[in-house]
Amino acid sequence: MLASPGVLPAPAEQDAWAYEMKWDGMRALADVRPDGWRLVGRSGKDATTSFPDLAGPHGLADLSARLGGQALVLDGEIVATDDRGVPSFALLQQRMNIARPTPQLMAAVPVSYLVFDVLEIGGNSAVDLPYRDRRRLLEDLDLASAPTDGGLIQVPPVIEGDAARAWQMAEAMDLEGVVAKRLDCPYVAGKRAAGWRKIKRIQEREVIVVGWAEGEGRRSNGLGALVVAVPDGEPAPDRPLLLAGKVGTGFTDAVLDQLLERLRPLAVNEAPVVDPPTGAAGRRIHWVEPQLVGEVAYTEWTTANSLRHPVWRGLRPDKSPHEVVPR
């Protein structure tokens, strides 16, 4: 189930909602059985081998045994935190593209699994239950008080009926924002629903990488900026792409090298957007197949339909181009 962009519920209706923090990580379902466990990302790809450290000890691998042999399907977010304890997508990015991380990488970038929903317990589906009942089931599992090693499995708190308090908490913790969930809302798998709203403190969105522009100065002969686009219209295999501008900040040298390595094999002769730049603006651009999705932070859309002051936040290998929403 996916949250729709929105605003905090009005004071008159806020008692009908619960409020969770919005975590800056990778969404994943955990399928936990007595004989094993696996993680599945939003795209449906198996992510288990990318995060073997979540096995434990006292992690997902022995969770079923600790709960009396019950099978579980959990919904949550994989996060890596910075030195302030705040989830950092930039840190997590170092783990997301690695199928089999080394012990050194796992030690340098440890992760946790933040659980916020339960979809199945003991072979019984919970998706048709309202959120308030699913949350009660999740809390009754007592995952957070189970022995953990470094907080591998956590159940973040929820605030009912007080949107202002939830927003203040998100600001105090310097988090992305708040997710408001109607207490009577069932779980609608794979779809955006009005019963879940995400309210962000900063503007962010996914974009499709359609090319790269050559750099200047220190970046000469290399990648200077990414050329990004957004779809025109609702999800469809052949929907056209509209240019959204260039993203030239937010990169480390290592990230620039990694991106160029990913983009060069995707080179194409023709622009994959319907409105390619002309004249000087179109020079020194190398177009690529629109296969990669990234995330940017930005201030606003300009009158020319470009992102203003975009900052690169990283690739989103857990998302596919057809999932990117229009402007």
- Residues known to be catalytic: 22
Residue 85: closest CA among 164, 21, 162, 141: 21
The secondary element (H helix, E strand) that includes residue 89 is: helix 89-96
Q: Are 193 and 4 in contact (CB under 8 A)?
A: yes
Q: How far is CA 311 from the centre of its chain?
A: 16
Strands 2-5 and 192-200: parallel
CA distance 225 to 213: 5
Report angle CA 248, 297, 151 to the nearest 5 degrees. Answer: 120
Residue 70: closest CA among 135, 128, 118: 118
Q: How far is CA 196 from the centre of its chain?
A: 16
CA distance 232 to 234: 7
